[in-house]
Amino acid sequence: MILDERTYAIHPAHVKDYLDLYVAEGMELQVSHLGHLVGWFTTDIGTVNEVVHIWRYEDLADRERRRQAMEQDPRWQAFRARAAGYVQTMRSRILRPTAFSPMR
């Protein structure tokens, strides 16, 4: 099992706009392709214009297959084009649980 942690810096004062667009047009589509959503978060202290979402996959091959299918979906491409204006930067990290992690 791996976790894909994705952090997006959103243009200041537009986090709500981005989240509203995602809920209305992107969430159902993304979940249908990627599967197990661990959670979506906003930052409350520190850099407050960030959103973080975490997805669980069986392994890197599962992640690649699911993300590739999503990227080929014209509905996802259209959503991403609408959402792109809100995003300043994006960071993705792959996390692997330790042998003693409760998320194994």
Report yes or no on 18 lying in a domain. yes
Q: How many domains does the chain have?
A: 1
- The pair of three-digit structure tokens given for residue 58, joined into one six-digit string: 């069986």
- What's the N-to-C CA distance of the chain in angstroms? 7
pTM over 0.85: yes
Per-residue pLDDT at 104: 79
Report yes or no on 84 lying in a domain. yes
Per-residue pLDDT at 98: 96
Report yes or no on 102 lying in a domain. no
pLDDT band at 103 (very low <50, low <70, confident <90, very high): confident
Report yes or no on 101 lying in a domain. no
Q: Give me the domain span that covers residue 10.
A: 2-95
What are 30-64's pLDDT values in tens digits?
Answer: 999 999 999 999 999 999 999 999 999 999 999 99
Report yes or no on 31 lying in a domain. yes
We report the CATH number of the domain holding residue 15 as 3.30.70.100
Residues 6+ apart with CB under 8 A from 80: 26
CB 22 within 8 A of CB 83: yes
Report yes or no on 104 lying in a domain. no
What are 6-30's pLDDT values in tens digits?
Answer: 999 999 999 999 999 999 999 999 9
Confidence check: pLDDT of 84 > 90: yes
Per-residue pLDDT at 77: 97
